Structure 1
Amino acid sequence: MKAMILAAGRGERMRPLTDTTPKPLLPLQGRPMLEHHLERLARAGFRDVLINTAWLGEQFPQTLGDGRRFGLAIHYQHETQALETGGGIQRALSWLGPDPFLVVNGDVYCELEFNALPQLGQQDLAHLWLVANPAHNSQGDFALNQGRVQAQGEAKLTFSGIGLYRPELFARCAPGRFPLAPLLREAMAQGRVGGTALEGHWCDVGTEQRLIELEQRLNANLG
């Protein structure tokens, strides 16, 4: 299975830190945040990873190289203008191939080990990991009911930014800039999205304060 890490965002809420460094490359425990994902992917047996870039995109290969030091082959997809999540994935489909693939947001931290991924149901187009709602997304995104993800429900959870997808999810999409969420909601309406509640710590590192708090938490766990 191939994996894609989404790293093309501008990181406006983390300025001025992101004026000179892309958000996924900001340091976490003394090394670029993205390396935590790369190491987990390598431990799980992944070998081919695509990283899409836009803002300060040249820094990614300069920092991460070709992936050999992680035991990976890293490929890069540079976007002159960020294509949003859906557009970035759609552009990568020719590289990702015909089989299901894993997509991970480059600006989240999680303790999910990728070596025990579920099999997509025969009719499923996606499988999402959901987490308890953080303070900055208290209303949640989607409901999880007996392993199925629904757009509506009383007890919504937050989409973690980690999902398995079939390329067929994007079959009717034209190249260009577009979000992922409408595609997922359409698939949910057809009953074609599975889901899992993600266990272990997860953080959307969207602000400098969250990055500081995550660093403190991880350092405390080491003590």
Structure 2
Amino acid sequence: MTAPAAFDHAMLLAAGLGKRMRPLTDTRPKPLVTVAGRTLADHVLDRLAAAGVRTAVVNVHHHADQMERHLAARTAPRIVISDERAGLLDSGGGVKKALPLLGKRPFVVCNSDSFWIEGPSRNLPRLFAAWDPDAMDILMLVAPTATSIGFDGPGDYMLDAFGRLERRRERAVAPFAYAGVLLIKPQLFQGMPDAFSLNRLFDAAEAKGRLHGRRLDGIWLHVGTPAAIDAAEAQIARSTMA
């Protein structure tokens, strides 16, 4: 199955310092940390390729030369580098800098420190099929916190019966976490500063009722620390034997 034409481009956020993954990230970028014999970056890029995404823009900063050498071996999706060696721009600024490489249609944005074990239905095609540009500015993949691996926070969002997301209030608990994948319109970046967090766009879309979510089918693996690697590998092994 191939992605609809509107989603043949994706952005992989791979420029961060990976401080929580130290000491592993003292000598490599976090996206090149290996889980179950494959790098985090390749786990995400494999899923994008399987969903028909043809071009993935990857931003680089920390150990950028390593990232470029590793990605040069990939043929699908086609890799285009967005160079942030001059300075980190945060998640939103990184995407804004890469907009000329991403085209004018809505595109996919992925974090590089999480992926998932597929359930009965593959998640990216389901997410693409759920996109409704008349009702949505952003569509997120969200994962139930109760069944996620490597995530121990109080959750990020509530999901209503219409698929709209509402951010967790202070001191509250929410049943869903942002699973590190979203669809977004490029127009949202107009007028934004050169460096900013994507959370600003999330909150603006929510205020307009245009931030939507789709529940992940399967098991989300959040790999943000060295300890989370063991937990993810153990879950992959259990799923393989099932």
Q: How many residue pairs end up in the alignment? A: 220
Please give the residue correspondences for 1:5-154 in structure 2 after superposition, counting only pairs within 5 Å.
Answer: 5-65=12-72, 67-68=74-75, 71-80=76-85, 81-111=87-117, 113=122, 114-116=124-126, 117=128, 118-133=130-145, 136-146=151-161, 147-152=163-168
Secondary structure at the counterpart of residue 140 of structure 1: coil
Question: 2:117·2:236 contact (CA, 8 Å) conserved in 1?
Answer: no
Q: Which runs of 4+ in 1 moved over 6 A?
A: none
Alignment partners' CA distance in 2, 1:155 and 1:17: 31
Question: In the alignment, is the contact (CA less than 8 A) between 1:125 and 1:168 conserved in 2?
Answer: no
Letter in 1 for 2:69: Q
Gaps of 5+ in 1: none
| Cα distance in 2 between the residues matched to 1:32 and 1:138 | 24
SS of aligned partner of 1:183 = helix
Q: Deviations over 1:152-208 (max 9, x none)?
A: 577622111110000122122132x21111221111011111111112111221110
Give the aligned CA root-mean-square deviation in angstroms. 1.9
3-state SS of the aligned residue for 1:120?
coil
Distance 1:48 1:101 in 2: 10
Q: 8 Å contact 2:15–2:59 — kept in the other structure? A: yes
Give the AA of the match of 2:181.
I
Structure 2 Cα separation of the partners of residues 144 and 45 of structure 1: 27
Deviations 1:72-113 (A, max 9, x none): 210111212221111111111111111110011011121353
The alignment's TM-score, normalised by the length of structure 1, stands at 0.91
CA 1:13–1:152 in 2, change beyond 3 Å: closer, same or farther? closer
- 8 A contact 1:137–1:158 mirrored in 2: no
Retained in 1: the 8 A contact 2:151–2:222? no
- CA displacement 1:132-154 (0-9 Å, x = unmatched): 22675432212211201123577
Alignment of 1:208-219 (within 5 A): 208-219=226-237
List gaps (5 residues or longer) in structure 2: 1-6
8 Å Cα contact 1:120/1:126 also seen in 2 = no
Which residue does 1:179 correspond to in 2?
A: 197
Distance 1:132 1:208 in 2: 22
Structure 2 counterpart of 1:98, which letter?
A: K
2:159 corresponds to which letter in structure 1? Answer: L
Q: Identity rate of aligned residues, in percent?
A: 33
